[in-house]
Amino acid sequence: MSENTKVLSALPGIFYRKPSPDEDVYVNEGDEVKSGDTIGIIEVMKTFFEVKAETDGVLESFLIANEDMVDAGQELAVLIK
């Protein structure tokens, strides 16, 4: 039986799925991730903070779009164990 885990934002800011506009996304839906893998970044006042998976699993879906504003504690993505 699979178990879902939500990835939460630690900070308010703008969520990005890739490190820069001309690079590929960190991870796509359906990709396998390991604990500690970066799945996105959050920009706060021109400073960037990595959003990391806290468990191994498969990225089922992102719950927000690239470049969306997020709040601290907001759900960003769902991992399936």
Structure tokens at 72: 């601290």
Structural domain for 20, as ranges: 4-80
Q: Domain with 55 in it: what CATH number? A: 2.40.50.100
- Torsion, Cα 7 9 42 77, to 10 degrees, reads 30
C-alpha angle 34-37-43 in degrees, rounded to nearest 5: 150
- The per-residue pLDDT for range 40-73, each reduced to its tens digit, is 999 999 999 999 999 999 999 999 999 999 999 9
Q: Count how many domains the chain has.
A: 1
**pTM value?**
0.91
